[in-house]
Amino acid sequence: AQSVTQLGSHVSVSEGALVLLRCNYSSSVPPYLFWYVQYPNQGLQLLLKYTTGATLVKGINGFEAEFKKSETSFHLTKPSAHMSDAAEYFCAVSPTSGSARQLTFGSGTQLTVLP
């Protein structure tokens, strides 16, 4: 079975500072990996994904994440936080085979950006 651990349920950064949101997964084989963002009372929006190929993936809004197989990690970063980045972020994994490709989500990290 797959599982996802997001370290830190709440993260606060100053505007302009580096954003680092941590995600570690547990899986018998490397899964597909995703980061989603959720603004209050809205659905989830895909930020970026890793399936195959380059382990550093770039997404929307200046975010990027690096897949590190040896560390079973997929941490999300952004060089300079903006007030509009304040939201909840979810890391998710899915198997690389099967018809339904169910996503397993982490418990989420609430990002606060301080002025």
> By the criterion CB under 8 A, which residues form the site for another protein?
32, 34, 36, 41-46, 49, 51, 90, 94, 99-103, 105-108
Pairwise CA distance, residues 63 & 26, whole Å: 23
Nearer to another protein, 32 or 77 (CB): 32
Nearer to another protein, 41 or 70 (CB): 41
Q: How far is the CB of 73 from another protein (least distance, A)?
A: 18
Site of tokens 């190929």 = 53
Interacting residues of 75 by C-beta distance below 8 A, sequence separation 6+: 20, 21, 22, 23, 65, 66
Q: 99, 106, 98, 90: which is closest to 2 by C-alpha?
A: 106
Q: How far is the CB of 100 from another protein (least distance, A)?
A: 5
Nearer to another protein, 80 or 102 (CB): 102
